[in-house]
């Protein structure tokens, strides 16, 4: 998904081509509405410096950001002693730990696995222009149809086990990516991928134990398989 020649502004290019962190082939996807924080130009020039690809390494992007901003704006989520991002990332990590049954250090998991080019957690955004919350005005619909189609194509063509969509106000757009409506439990299958719709992890505040148990539930549902698809297959015989 590349812009036509002549578009050189980093933000404008990122609005079309940047989708987040990690790798499309990661087994665990977490899809949000948009990056949090202020809409600094350096966010996008750092993206270009970190490779300018559809997904980039989160730690490399942080390094490039820190080179461009004053000390009071620098971030340290991927250092040897990472600053912990509690509002969103840690709950999502708990989902993965519950799903995998691992008892790993979630702080180290944030540093080493989350949004990394060789990690197992991809962080994907419907809109790549940053905003502190939905009340902040912005053109969230710019390139939205193209972006939804592109994310859906990647979901269909990669070995994703679970794709968790967070922020229920974007349900209709998430359903376009997931290929149909979520059921009463906020679940649906797209091929071999179990898709899940949840409230944003920071609203309402829930314990890490809650999110770990949610991951355990996703594992049980994933292991049970796509029953509806199996039933449909039997009917066609």
Give CATH superfamily name and number for 19-39+84-224: Uracil-DNA glycosylase-like domain (3.40.470.10)
- For 77, the 3-state DSSP assignment is coil
CA dist list (Å): 177 to 10, 20, 68, 144, 183: 26, 15, 34, 11, 15
Does the reported pTM lie above 0.85?
A: yes
Radius of gyration in angstroms for the set of CA atoms belonging to the chain, rounded to a whole number: 18
Show the 3-state SS of 87-120.
CCHHHHHHHHHHHHCCCCCHHHHHHHCECCCCCC
**In this predicted model, which residue has the larger pLDDT, 182 or 137?**
182
Under a CB-based contact definition with an 8 Å cutoff, are residues 122 and 32 in contact?
Answer: no
Tell me the per-residue pLDDT of 66-85, one tens digit each, with 9 for 90 and over: 999 999 999 999 999 999 99
Which tops the pLDDT comparison, 231 or 148?
A: 148
- 68, 159 contact by CB (below 8 A): no
Average pLDDT of the residues in 97-115: 96
Q: How far apart are CA 237 and CA 233, in angstroms?
A: 7
């Amino acid at each position: 998904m590349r812009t036509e020649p002549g578009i050189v502004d980093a933000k404008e290019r990122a609005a079309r081509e940047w989708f987040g962190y990690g790798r499309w082939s990661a087994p665990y996807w977490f899809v949000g509405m948009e990056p949090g924080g202020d809409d600094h130009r350096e966010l996008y020039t750092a993206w270009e410096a970190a490779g300018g690809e559809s997904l980039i390494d989160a730690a490399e992007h942080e390094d490039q950001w820190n080179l461009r901003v004053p000390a009071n704006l620098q971030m340290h989520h991927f250092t040897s002693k990472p600053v912990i991002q509690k509002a969103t990332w840690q709950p999502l990590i708990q989902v993965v730990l519950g799903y995998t049954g691992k008892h790993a250090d979630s702080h180290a998991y944030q540093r080493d696995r989350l949004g990394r080019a060789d990690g197992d957690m991809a962080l994907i955004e419907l809109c790549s222009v940053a905003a502190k919350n939905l009340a902040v005005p912005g053109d969230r619909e710019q390139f939205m149809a193209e972006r939804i189609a592109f994310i859906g194509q990647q979901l269909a063509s990669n070995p994703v086990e679970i794709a968790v969509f967070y922020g229920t106000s974007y349900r209709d757009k998430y359903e376009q990516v997931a290929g149909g409506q979520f059921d009463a439990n906020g679940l649906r299958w797209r091929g071999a991928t179990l898709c899940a719709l949840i409230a944003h992890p920071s609203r309402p505040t829930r314990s890490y134990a809650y999110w770990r148990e949610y991951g355990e539930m996703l594992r049980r549902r994933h292991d049970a398989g796509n029953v509806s698809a199996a039933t449909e297959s039997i009917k066609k015989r």
